[in-house]
């Protein structure tokens, strides 16, 4: 049971072990496990109104105005009408409730969309189509190819040999390479027999729901036997079934208890730092209001005792009212009169400003991505100004910084570099989309999306260059890629790492097409000729070997070993005859690394038949050894992988999104720190760090924290700190002793170090670093570094890192990602940004802002965020100045009206001052003002820094604003008072009456605040001119209308100031008083600004001076040049490749489909050149899309006979 959405029942007993039986709903329902329905919304029809009002009245200002409304309903103390408060309060509540309701409706729609998906469920012996939300723990469900996994399932059987399934886990960990899961043999034998599956009554005992994506422990009891269960037999919700016709699974966890939802984090009510500051200021203002009212109440008591008795003759007191009670009632009367220090219109205006700035973000064409037709979207309208204060950005890598696409860019073959485009003068050209790409029309099996721009390489292929052919033959044979050919020529490659896919696709386009494999063979098509190589052994990749080899026998019977891997590893195993070639290739590798490319070295050797037979026997004996099996196999691998002949090197680009490096550079200049939190491996993350220029060779050091024990992690963190800040042992010891005692600081300050450092920490080490006793040490170390990269992290760890920074750093955080694995991080940060990427829309649905490309982040922060923050701060400073000046005049007037709670202004002026006379000018400034244009904002990213330091609006700025208002209120009251004191008109009649004085003060006030607005405004538009001059005109029009004889005759009791405007404003001395008051109000501001611009100019003032000096439009932005880094660092091999995949291939545990009938040698068409330009795009996308969109033409089998020789030497 719940009340207003809040749980009021006893907390459910913590689950220690999950027990369930297949096909037994009654048994499983007794445990009251969660259903498969998910809920991300906050309200329903019954709870919306009470819960939303409860949230709104947590804002202190709303509660304050509610109290004021109650006071205004008491006639004895109210001197203002009740509607002056209730109307704006109700407007604010309705506006906010409508906005919150609309947001929640979108969440409901998203929930319904997911919950109403259909899946086949085995019920009462038959498969029925059921909604996801109706699926229960213990149900057996059937999934088909490309379907999302409905819940966390125990895999029972599949359509593939050996009960394997292939899943894509991008929604969970951001990796798009396929992963293999395998069912138990005992359940796999049931296949797709509905009868056998319906009779299955196995009992599962396993761990309770948790957020560990990489671990599962449990047992299956069936037919009197127990079988162990691990993570390799579990399909997690959020994964996608790929390359598998069907599979059956048993639901273990459903809905909110699935590991995906356990990692999603809780939805929190986000508020800006200005909102939190406003709450504190409202409390201070309320306290100040109470003090003012108390002073005036004491004044009333003193006046009543000494002076009041003299007035009772013509102004008798009501019965029972004495001086003490009068003072008590006066206190509350002044609470009502002086409540305008925080008018409710402030909050109405704030919501309008935020909404307007949100529309500016959505209407910004420069943040619109035409290719995907995706505009920027402000999904939350209450956080705009927070975008101008970001200090830490936490970014995912895959799909956020990168396009999740690999392209084969360059290669070095036999000492010659291919991939660059050289003009007639020998100069290398920068490759652009308009450049002519290589024509692969001679190859009907080529991937149409593959682009290569160096025509010389394809010419070498056609001219039968031996080394070039061997190079691409190696790429076509040495891999673990699986090919699926659903129709003739319609090839789909499924690679366990995207690197592999890109290399095999490159070989495919250059004429060496991988077609299919069996556990004993690999079939490729070489320049139109179908050839089958016998696969004798796969020497698999692992993190120590950093290389992979295959041993094959050609159709002619020739034995060869092909090897690819990290260049440092391959070089150690080369034959001494390769020394010169190795030097040239090293130069090319350095050049590739300088371009940020991922490199591999390629080598081969021919094997002697007798030696290989003897080696294979020893390999078999080692593979079945019970002791030291791994060590024995490694020795055999080392033995055969030596005296290799170097072929060359490949260079793959892990394509960054457009403008990523420039965006990161701009954000770094704005003093924004970027932390990359990724589920990828360490080498992958490091390489992207170098590609983005986050990590650079010029850095003093890049620390790697990869220890497997708490003590090791602590020691590595301490060593890193001592390296960055040497000679600080005493301070370090003091900090360590305090940490041991549990005296951790509330705020971890920034530490100044000399030099630039980076840190890379692995997920297993991060788990220890985030423990309570070590988290501050980790944070200190990380914050001393310029770049922080956390790899192999779980979604929950991403959120924990964000929470750590929020807890100990007084800074605003932003998290940006594109997948479901980023949702918890997005929810945890102050600002969450979702990218509409290849990994679904989960991140967008959980975000506060969304767009299509990472590069738009710099415009969101440096332009819209900075402008929004600047506008909001100007608005608040001006609004408090305006209303304090308005209200303090009442305070000074109280000393001249016997503390009687009489207002100094006409009641209609009080009502219309914030609503009509001053509303539009300040809104115009808050919506359109900008200190400099967007291009100058990019030219000087340092303009962003004042927002991070809260320089535009803070408690200090508020106090200055209050003092300024106090001065202006003194001028506004005493200058008119002195000017009208003992003053007569030109005709000798008296001027000094209450109505004339009130009119003069309110006129001076309107003009003074408009002048102040003009001084605060940096950017005048036609709208601003209309609002400012229109509001002044409106004041005089309304004043003359309300104080006219006609209005008095119609509404005699409501318009008592008849003729005052016409009488007072016709006197020259009144206008001189208005002029003098306005000048005196503006003089301190002008003096202050003049002195500070001369002595201590701010960064804004310096840049604005440059704009003025330019006297023309800002200089056009510099032409974006390709960022090139010089580096000797080269990336390792197959970053996302996993150990053991080779064994899977050779043991028949792979996708094995009957190949379609192979084409003859006529699969190639005659060569021709085309002048049509293509968009440069991915060479390989690991998401499983079609690699060939149309069926190739059938042509005559004579395409490349002129280029091939009849006698090949393989």
**Residues known to be catalytic:** 396
Q: In what order do the strands lie in the sheet with 18-21?
A: 18-21, 203-206, 218-222, 225-229
End-to-end CA distance of the chain: 76
Residue 142, judged by CB atoms within 10 A of its CB (0-12, 13-18, 19+), counts as buried
By the 8 A CB rule, do 1057 and 909 touch?
no
- Of 533, 650, 535, 536, residue with least CA distance to 603: 650
Dihedral, 691, 697, 701, 704 alpha carbons, nearest 10: 30
Across 457-481, b (16+ Cβ under 10 Å) vs e yields bbebbbeebeebbbbbbbbbbbbbb
3-class DSSP state of 701: strand
By the 8 A CB rule, do 83 and 107 touch?
no
By the 8 A CB rule, do 757 and 701 touch?
yes
Residue 1178, judged by CB atoms within 10 A of its CB (0-12, 13-18, 19+), counts as buried
**What is the CB neighbour count within 10 angstroms for residue 1124?**
11
Across 524-552, b (16+ Cβ under 10 Å) vs e yields bbbbbbbbbbebbbbbbbeeebbbbbbbb
By the 8 A CB rule, do 138 and 22 touch?
yes
Helix, strand, coil: what percent of the chain each, to 5?
45, 20, 35
Across 716-746, b (16+ Cβ under 10 Å) vs e yields bbbebbeebbeeeeeeeeebeeebeeeebee
**What is the CB neighbour count within 10 angstroms for residue 90?**
13
Q: How many residues does the chain have?
A: 1210
Distance of CA 98 to the CA centre of its chain: 26
What single-letter DSSP state applies at residue 1121?
P
Distance CA(376)–CA(836), nearest Å, equals 10
Residue with tokens 């000074």: 892
β-pairing, 390-395 with 812-817? parallel
Residue 253, judged by CB atoms within 10 A of its CB (0-12, 13-18, 19+), counts as buried
| 419-421-425 Cα angle (round to 5) | 140
Provide CB contacts within 8 A for 577, sequence distance 6+: 645
Residue 196, judged by CB atoms within 10 A of its CB (0-12, 13-18, 19+), counts as middle
Extract the tokens encoding 788: 């922080």
Element (H, E) at 250: strand 246-253
Provide CB contacts within 8 A for 166, sequence distance 6+: 160, 178, 179, 180, 181, 241, 242, 243, 244, 494, 1151
Q: What is the DSSP string of 373-431?
A: TB--EES-SS-GGGGGSEEEEEE-STTTTEEEEEEEEEEEETTEEES-EE-TTSPEEPP
Q: What string of H, E and C letters represents the secondary structure of 1072-1084? A: HHHHHHHHHHHHH
β-pairing, 390-395 with 673-677? parallel
């Amino acid at each position: 049971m719940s009340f207003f959405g809040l749980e009021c029942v006893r907390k459910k007993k913590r689950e220690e072990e999950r027990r369930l039986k297949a096909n037994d709903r009654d048994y499983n329902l007794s445990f009251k496990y969660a259903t498969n329905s998910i809920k991300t919304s906050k309200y329903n029809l019954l709870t919306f109104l009470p819960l939303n009002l409860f949230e709104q009245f947590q804002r202190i200002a709303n509660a304050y105005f509610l109290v004021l409304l109650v006071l205004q309903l008491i006639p004895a103390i109210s001197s203002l009408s009740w509607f002056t408060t209730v109307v704006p309060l109700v407007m604010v509540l309705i506006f906010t409730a409508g906005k919150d309701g609309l947001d929640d409706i979108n969440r409901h729609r998203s929930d319904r969309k997911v919950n109403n998906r259909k899946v086949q469920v085995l019920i009462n012996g038959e498969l029925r189509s059921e909604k996801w939300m109706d699926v229960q723990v213990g149900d057996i469900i059937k999934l088909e190819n490309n379907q999302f996994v409905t819940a966390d399932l125990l895999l029972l059987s599949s359509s593939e040999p050996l009960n394997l399934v292939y899943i894509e886990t991008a929604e969970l960990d951001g990796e798009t390479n396929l992963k293999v899961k395998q069912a138990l043999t005992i359940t796999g034998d049931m296949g797709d027999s509905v009868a056998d599956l319906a009779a299955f009554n196995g009992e599962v005992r396993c761990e309770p729901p948790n957020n560990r994506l990489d671990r599962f422990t449990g047992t299956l009891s069936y037919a009197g036997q127990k079988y162990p269960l691990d993570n390799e037999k579990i399909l997690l919700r959020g994964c996608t079934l790929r390359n598998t016709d069907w599979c059956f699974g048993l639901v273990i966890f459903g809905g909110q208890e699935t590991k995906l939802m356990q990692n999603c984090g809780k939805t929190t009510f986000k508020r800006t730092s200005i909102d939190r500051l406003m709450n504190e200021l409202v409390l201070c203002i309320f306290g100040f209001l109470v003090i003012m009212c108390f002073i005036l109440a004491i004044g009333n008591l003193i006046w009543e005792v000494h002076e009041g008795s003299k007035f009772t003759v013509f102004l008798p007191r009501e019965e029972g009212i004495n001086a003490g009670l009068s003072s008590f009632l006066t206190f509350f009367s002044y609470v009502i009169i002086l409540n305008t220090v925080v008018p409710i219109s402030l909050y109405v205006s704030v919501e309008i400003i935020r909404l307007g700035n949100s529309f500016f973000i959505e209407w910004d064409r420069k943040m619109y991505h035409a290719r995907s037709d995706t505009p920027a979207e402000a999904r939350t309208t209450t956080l705009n100004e927070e975008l101008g204060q970001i200090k830490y950005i936490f970014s995912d890598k895959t799909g956020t910084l990168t396009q999740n696409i690999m392209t084969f860019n360059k290669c070095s073959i036999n000492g010659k570099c291919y991939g660059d485009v050289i003009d007639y003068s020998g100069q290398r050209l920068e490759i652009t989309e308009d450049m002519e790409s290589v024509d692969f029309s001679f190859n009907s099996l080529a991937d149409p999306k593959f682009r290569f721009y160096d025509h010389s390489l394809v010419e070498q292929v056609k001219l039968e260059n031996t080394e070039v052919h061997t190079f691409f033959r190696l790429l076509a044979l040495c891999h673990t890629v699986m090919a699926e050919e659903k129709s003739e020529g319609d090839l789909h490659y499924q690679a366990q790492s995207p690197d592999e896919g890109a290399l095999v696709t490159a070989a495919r386009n250059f004429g060496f097409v991988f077609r299919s494999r069996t556990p004993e063979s690999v079939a490729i098509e070489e320049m139109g000729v179908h050839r089958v190589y016998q696969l004798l052994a796969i020497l698999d990749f692992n993190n120590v070997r950093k290389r992979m080899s295959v041993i094959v026998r050609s159709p002619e019977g020739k034995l060869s070993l092909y090897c690819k891997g990290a260049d440092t590893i391959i070089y150690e195993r080369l034959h001494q005859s390769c020394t010169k070639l190795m030097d040239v290739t090293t130069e090319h590798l350095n050049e590739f690394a300088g371009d940020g490319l991922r490199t591999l070295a390629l080598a081969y050797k021919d094997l002697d038949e007798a030696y290989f037979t003897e080696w294979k026997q020893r390999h078999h004996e080692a593979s079945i050894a019970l002791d030291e099996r791994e060590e024995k196999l490694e020795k055999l691998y080392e033995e055969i992988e030596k005296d290799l002949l170097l072929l060359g090197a490949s260079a793959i680009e892990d394509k960054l999104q457009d403008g990523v490096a420039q965006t990161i550079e701009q954000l770094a200049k704005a003093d924004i720190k970027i932390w990359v939190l990724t589920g990828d491996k360490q080498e992958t993350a490091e390489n992207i760090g170098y590609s983005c220029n986050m990590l650079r060779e010029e850095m003093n050091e890049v620390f790697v924290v990869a220890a497997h024990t708490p003590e090791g992690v602590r020691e590595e963190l301490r060593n890193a700190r001592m390296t960055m800040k040497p000679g600080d042992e005493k301070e370090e010891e003091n900090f360590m002793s305090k940490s041991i005692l549990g005296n951790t600081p509330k705020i971890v300050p920034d530490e100044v170090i000399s030099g630039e450092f980076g840190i890379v920490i692995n997920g297993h080490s991060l788990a220890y670093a985030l423990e309570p006793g070590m988290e501050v040490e980790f944070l200190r170390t990380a914050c001393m570094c310029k770049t922080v990269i956390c790899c192999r992290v779980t979604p929950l760890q991403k959120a924990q890192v964000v929470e750590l920074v929020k807890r100990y750093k007084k800074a605003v955080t932003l998290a940006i990602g594109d997948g479901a694995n980023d949702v918890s991080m997005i929810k945890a940060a102050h600002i969450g940004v979702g990218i509409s990427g290849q990994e679904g829309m989960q991140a967008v649905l959980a975000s506060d802002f969304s767009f299509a490309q990472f590069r738009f982040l710099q415009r969101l922060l440096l332009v819209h965020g900075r402008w929004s923050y600047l506008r909001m701060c100007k608005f608040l400073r001006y609004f408090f100045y305006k209303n304090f000046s308005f209200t303090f005049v009442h305070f000074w007037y109280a000393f001249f009206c016997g503390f009687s709670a009489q207002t100094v202004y006409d009641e209609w002026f009080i009502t219309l001052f914030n609503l009509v006379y001053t509303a539009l000018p300040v809104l115009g400034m808050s919506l359109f003002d900008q200190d400099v244009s967007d291009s100058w904002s990019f030219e000087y990213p340092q303009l962003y820094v004042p927002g991070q330091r809260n320089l535009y609006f803070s408690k200090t700025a508020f106090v200055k604003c209050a003092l300024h208002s106090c001065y202006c209120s003194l001028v506004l009251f005493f200058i008119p008072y002195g000017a009208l004191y003992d003053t007569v008109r030109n005709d000798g009649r008296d001027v000094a009456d209450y109505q004339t004085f009130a009119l003069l003060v309110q006129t001076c006030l309107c003009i003074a605040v408009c002048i102040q607005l003009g001084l605060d405004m940096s950017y005048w538009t036609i709208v601003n001119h209309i609002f400012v001059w229109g509001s002044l005109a409106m004041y005089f029009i309304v004043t003359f209308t309300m104080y006219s004889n006609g209005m008095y005759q119609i509404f005699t009791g409501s318009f008592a100031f008849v003729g005052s405007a016409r009488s007072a404003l016709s006197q020259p001395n009144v206008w001189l008083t208005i002029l003098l008051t306005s000048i005196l109000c503006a003089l301190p501001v002008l003096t202050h600004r003049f002195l500070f611009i001369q002595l201590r100019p701010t960064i804004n003032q310096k840049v604005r001076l440059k704009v003025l000096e330019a006297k023309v439009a800002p200089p056009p932005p510099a032409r974006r040049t390709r960022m090139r880094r010089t580096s000797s660092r080269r990336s390792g091999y197959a970053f996302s490749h996993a150990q053991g995949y080779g064994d899977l291939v050779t043991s028949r545990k792979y996708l094995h489909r009957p190949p379609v009938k192979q084409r003859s040698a006529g699969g190639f068409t005659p060569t021709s050149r085309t002048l049509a330009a293509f968009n440069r795009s991915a060479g390989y996308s690991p998401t499983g899309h079609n690699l060939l969109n149309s069926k190739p033409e059938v042509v005559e089998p004579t395409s490349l006979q002129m280029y091939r020789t009849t006698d090949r030497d393989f």
